[in-house]
Amino acid sequence: MASASSQIWSPLILGGNEFIGNIPESIGDLKRLEELHLDHNNMSGELPTALSNCTNLVTIDLNSNHFSGKLTKVDFISLPNLKKLDLLFNDFTGTIPERIYSCSKLTALRLSYNHFNVQLSEKIGDLKSLSFLSLAHSSLTNITRTLQILRSSRSLTILYIGFNFLHETMPEDDSIDGFENLQVLSMNYCSLSGTIPDWLSKLANLGMLFLQNNQLTGSIPDWVSNLHLLFHLDISNNSFTGEIPSALMEMPMLESDKTAPKVFFELPVWNKNTFMQYLMLSAFPKVLNLAINNFTGVILEEIGQLNALIALNLSSNELSGEIPQAICNLRNLQVLDLSVNHLTGVIPAALNNLNFLSEFDISNNDLEGPIPTGGQLSTFPDSSFDGNSKLCGPMSLSRCGSAGAGLTSTSYRKQFRCKVKQFRCKVIFAISFGIFFGVGVLYGQMVLARYFG
């Protein structure tokens, strides 16, 4: 990067290029610099101490580079106007310097996916305006203490603390409160044991909850339907048991076309797989993901009440019975995955009328009869129907009236479930447009999805 001059530059926006090298000490000459955007480059090295001289800085965005070293080289006390600090996807080490808590105007702090060894200080409560906090993959430990500290941050609306607290227990302490403004909570990929805690029922403004890839057990509590703004629930890849509760069929946001608040967040949220950024809660799709658990029983007819649902994933469970006709009422559905269960009976012909359906999988069940033709189901590959030895149709599975063949659904399912449980990382679905805040054309694809706050 070329040496900085003493010109008066308010914003310096150089993101999304292929710059290499480090930030020169001469950056300190830009006394009136308010915004520094060097995100999505290939820059490296430690942060210069001279950055502390840019006392008018409001935004520092170094997202997606190779910067390293400790943050203590920057004197954050000298940056009283700092509102946004984004260091996502770098190689920083150490912990959060105490002096960062002197930035009383800070609204967004994202340190995820570095090599930090973070232990939160109670001084984070001094950041009264902090709305967006992302500390995923930061070697955090003691989830109970962490939540008790963060409850003093009353302005938090976005909290990403996934990929931490490995093999700890989900706290059930009723004293955990203070998150009344929280709209997005991510505690995924932590291998947490325990159950879904009742303190989550207090989060009246919660719109999105990510608990996937833990080791949670028990059942889904009935109070889930009392979270009137919840529209995106992912509890996949856990060990939940019991029947799918009727309370899930009574979630107000999934029953109506009501959208989430159209409030822009302090920082964009990135989906690294699709290279898209998303800026507001209302851009997320309405999703119910219960995949890779041990749910039993039937799929309730009441599922047809969730008229606004965009993606439904019940795959890799122990569900039985027939595919309910009511599921054909979900006219907005774009992703439907019922694979690897024990479903029987025929495929409802009215599924052909789900014109927006772009991802469909009923493989590895015990379904029978002809595959409905002449509609949306004809657009999906054979793999969407594999592992149902009694199914027949014009595709290459087996022609109706001929001797069936191939691997039986039972044996195929056992092999598949074994593979899923071994790796415990199968991605159930991803929606390019909707996995994070954004604008675009919605389509589904099977990818390794991670939520990067």
pLDDT in tens, 152-169: 999 999 999 999 999 999
Q: How many angstroms from the chain centroid is the CA of residue 439?
A: 17
Closest CA to 288 of 241, 352, 357, 224: 224
pLDDT band at 105 (very low <50, low <70, confident <90, very high): very high
Of 257-271, 306-320, 372-386, where does mean pLDDT reach its minimum? 257-271
**The two domains 1-106 and 207-453 share their CATH topology (first three levels equal):** yes
What predicted TM-score, i.e. pTM, was given to this entire model? 0.90
Q: Which helix (H) or strand (E) holds 277?
A: strand 276-280
pLDDT given for residue 390 in this prediction? 94
pLDDT given for residue 52 in this prediction? 97
CATH of 1-106, one of 3.40.190.10, 3.80.10.10, 1.10.10.10, 3.40.630.30: 3.80.10.10
In terms of phi and psi (left: phi > 0; alpha: psi -120 to 50; beta: otherwise), the region of 436 is beta
Overall average pLDDT of the 27-54 stretch: 97
Amino acid at 212: Q
Overall average pLDDT of the 424-443 stretch: 33
Q: Please count the CA atoms within 13 angstroms of the CA of 54 that sit on its side-chain side.
A: 30
Name the pairing type of β-strands 184-186 and 158-160.
parallel
Overall average pLDDT of the 51-68 stretch: 97
Q: Which residues pair with 368 in a beta bridge?
A: 390
Amino acid at 341: N
pLDDT band at 271 (very low <50, low <70, confident <90, very high): low
pLDDT at 33 over 50: yes
Q: Which CATH class is domain 207-453?
A: alpha beta
pLDDT band at 320 (very low <50, low <70, confident <90, very high): very high
Q: What is the spatial distance between Cα 320 and Cα 342, in angstroms, rounded to a whole number?
A: 5
pLDDT band at 401 (very low <50, low <70, confident <90, very high): low
User: Which of residues 408 and 329 earns the better pLDDT score?
Assistant: 329
CA angle, residues 219, 220, 225, in degrees to nearest 5: 155
pLDDT band at 440 (very low <50, low <70, confident <90, very high): very low
pLDDT band at 139 (very low <50, low <70, confident <90, very high): very high
pLDDT band at 177 (very low <50, low <70, confident <90, very high): confident
DSSP for residue 306? -
Contact 68, 89 (CB under 8 A): no
Q: What is the spatial distance between Cα 321 and Cα 72, in angstroms, rounded to a whole number?
A: 60
Q: What is the spatial distance between Cα 62 and Cα 413, in angstroms, rounded to a whole number?
A: 46
The 3-state DSSP class for residue 401 equals coil
Encode pLDDT of 70-91 as tens digits: 999 999 999 999 999 999 999 9
pLDDT at 260 over 90: no
pLDDT given for residue 410 in this prediction? 47
pLDDT at 318 over 60: yes
Encode pLDDT of 203-238 as tens digits: 999 999 999 999 999 999 999 999 999 999 999 999
Encode pLDDT of 179-191 as tens digits: 999 999 999 999 9
pLDDT band at 269 (very low <50, low <70, confident <90, very high): confident
Name the pairing type of β-strands 59-61 and 35-37.
parallel
pLDDT at 409 over 50: no
Average pLDDT value over all residues in the chain = 87
Q: In three state form, how does the secondary structure of 121-140 look?
A: CHHHHHCCCCCEEECCCCCC
DSSP for residue 452? B
pLDDT given for residue 263 in this prediction? 83
Percentage of residues of the chain with pLDDT beyond 90:
77
pLDDT given for residue 3 in this prediction? 46
In terms of phi and psi (left: phi > 0; alpha: psi -120 to 50; beta: otherwise), the region of 252 is alpha
What is the domain partition of the chain in residue ranges? 1-106, 207-453
Which residue is listed with tokens 């608040």?
A: 261
Q: What is the spatial distance between Cα 271 and Cα 438, in angstroms, rounded to a whole number?
A: 10
Overall average pLDDT of the 266-288 stretch: 80
pLDDT given for residue 434 in this prediction? 31
Closest CA to 263 of 384, 154, 182: 182
Q: What is the spatial distance between Cα 397 and Cα 403, in angstroms, rounded to a whole number?
A: 11
DSSP for residue 285? P
Percentage of residues of the chain with pLDDT beyond 70:
84
User: Which of residues 275 and 233 earns the better pLDDT score?
Assistant: 233
Closest CA to 211 of 226, 191, 230, 228: 191
User: Which of residues 25 and 423 earns the better pLDDT score?
Assistant: 25
